[in-house]
A and B are shown apart, each in its own frame.
Chain A
């Protein structure tokens, strides 16, 4: 008969815990969120032998069971909750052979909870290079456990791990240290009050500031009332406990581990000397960023063009091959372009996460945090905010997803909220056409005005991101007491399997999660543009044919399309917002384009093309058409004042439903995307308004 057991993987960050998880489960894993919070929940299935299956949870990396972040709380909440369906039959603590001493601290804590605990010593391939030798069987005896010596890089030792897991019942559950020896009176009293409870478990409940609401409160949680001592007294006891654990670990390691420092080759100090150099460190980081940024732009453009043409031709085929009707129209103009709008982001997301996961895997990311922390801290951001802010210049969607590395929730939230201010690639076509239209040619000190304007717009985006980050950091009342303690891991070559799984997982979750919302809104926009009340819309063809007798063929059908759009719901919406946008220098046609831009900013150009009923998307033709548009008083619609006002509106407004969808996913609530939508758009309105009023 087959049986299934629950396994929890624990370990310090940078020990290769996730590599072990990937080796065990391959692609048989799924990533979700813990209910109600944004901590990633990774679980997977692994066949241990013919009759035993394992359900494995890869718990967030943690240095100890004393939680200091939401991620870490998840770990102890699970380990204290026997009623959880995920409560482990066996816990596996993954350690790195080079940091064994520190990693064993967590091992002793987990074992003291009375859970059968197995030790994995990873990166065994590094032992020789680092001059480390270990007496495994002696260590097993001393720690009273079983050990699997593993190299995830060389795929060694995993069979032994599986075998040990199958026989987990043989593992001892005896605690490693005696808490009573820290403060005999205190712990004896505690045990007397709760005679049936494990002492270390009680101690954790007392000292941890985590949410135990879901945990069976019977008896255990009564212990929270047992705070007979002051907080600082408790903390000193925690320190004593830590010292005690280290004494235990040191006494064992002295006997079983020999490190021959002369045999060690030190890659770290040689690389650190240059990579975090006060001057060269920044230059190197800048060059790496530029390379990443360029390749996201350049490499993605090839598949993106392909995706673009493929979906356009699919849509065209649907239109011509299928019988005319509502369904065909929905398919060709709503669903297919909507799907295309999701797929088009895949190359950028995949490339960005390819680079990010390589930077993470090599250990370089921690150095970036070290270099950038001081500068960004002034704005309420974190050293790690640098990656989202820079990659936002390609696209805000992968950038928002990249904020997951920021442990501090407040700093992460601020980064998410301000990232859409950076000039993304979808704003470029809008800027390009408006600059060509309203900014005169000519140059100043050898720099041409048009180029300067574009640069100015990029700077304005970054500047606004930093300013609003500063404002948010002063106004948001979020308790986040996590401290800045960043481990600087060893440099390593990235494991291809880990990189691949990250890229796949990020891309997949974007398509399935944010994709749903994007598709839904695309269809909604299609409905609004394809239906309209009254005869004006339904009899558009007849009305236009009668009134414009001189038009023929393509010109006629373009005019009909334009007329229809004008009288569709979206057209009516565009007209109805005219009073609001008139002080900004826009007419109702721009209003329609603004609303349609919500699907994606670059749609602005295409929408205007439809409204002006020009036959092709060629930029030159649309530009000429736009240049010849006049207001009621005969002056051109697009002049310096309205043009700059419109560019600034695009620079600040939140007009991207895909970004809103991903922010909803990452923050787990509609509150933050709505604050973005209204806050950014209001800001855009005020700035565009004052610009136009001053310039006009």
Chain B
């Protein structure tokens, strides 16, 4: 299990746990929930922000937020 910001570009993973208290509810509502698939589409320079596909949503979040989401790589 690794924090989301350590995912490499193009990798697909499943969300394992999230630190609910540290994440905006908006992100959770957009599909950032344990069990959902997540893939990293692109990183901006300095790996921040991250462009993700979470469930069916395409969105960008900052690295500091991504550190509170833990994922497991799908082979």
Contact = CB atoms under 8 A, between A and B. Distances in A.
Interface string B7-35: 00000000000001100111111110100
A283 to B, nearest CB: 13
A242 B27 CA distance: 11
A330 interface: no
A373 B62 contact: yes
A285 B41 CA distance: 19
A372 B32 CA distance: 24
Contacts of A631: none
A370 B49 CA distance: 7
B29 A64 contact: yes
Contacts of B60: 366, 369-370, 373, 484-486, 488
A236 B62 CA distance: 22
Given A272-B42, A374-B49, A484-B49, A239 B20 contact: yes
B49 A63 contact: no
A366 B21 CA distance: 27
A242 B57 CA distance: 15
B55 A101 contact: yes
A66 B26 contact: yes
A276 B27 contact: no
Nearest to A370: B60
Chain A interface mostly: helix
Interface in B27-52: 27-31, 33, 41-42, 44-46, 48-49, 51
Nearest to B31: A102
A105 B56 CA distance: 13
B45 A238 contact: no
A488 B59 contact: yes
B21 A485 contact: no
B57 A102 contact: yes
A232 B24 CA distance: 12
B41 A272 contact: yes
Contact of A276 (B21, B24, B30, B42): B42
Given A484-B65, A485-B26, A232 B21 contact: yes
A68 interface: yes
Given A102-B55, A489-B58, A483 B24 contact: yes
A402 B20 CA distance: 34
A484 B62 contact: yes
A487 B28 CA distance: 13
Greatest chain A CB density within 10 A among B25, B28, B30 is at B25
Interface string A94-112: 0000110110010000000
Greatest chain A CB density within 10 A among B44, B55, B56 is at B44
Contacts of B2: none
Nearest to B50: A370
B29 A242 contact: yes
A370 B42 CA distance: 10
Contacts of A374: 44-46, 48-49
A137 to B, nearest CB: 23
B61 interface: yes
Contact of B30 (A63, A236, A268, A272): A63
Nearest to B34: A243
A371 B51 CA distance: 10
B52 to A, nearest CB: 9
A485 B44 contact: no
A129 interface: no
A278 B51 CA distance: 13
Q: Which 5 A-B pairs have the closest CB atoms?
A: A483-B24, A488-B58, A486-B60, A64-B29, A370-B60
Given A66-B26, A243-B33, A486-B60, 20 more contacts: A66-B25, A68-B25, A99-B57, A102-B29, A102-B30, A235-B25, A236-B20, A239-B25, A242-B28, A276-B44, A366-B60, A371-B44, A373-B49, A373-B60, A483-B65, A484-B65, A486-B61, A487-B30, A487-B57, A488-B51
Interface of B: 20-21, 24-31, 33, 41-42, 44-46, 48-49, 51, 55-62, 65
20 contacts: A63-B29, A64-B29, A66-B26, A68-B24, A68-B25, A99-B56, A99-B57, A232-B21, A236-B20, A238-B25, A239-B20, A239-B25, A239-B33, A278-B44, A366-B60, A371-B44, A373-B62, A482-B24, A483-B65, A485-B65
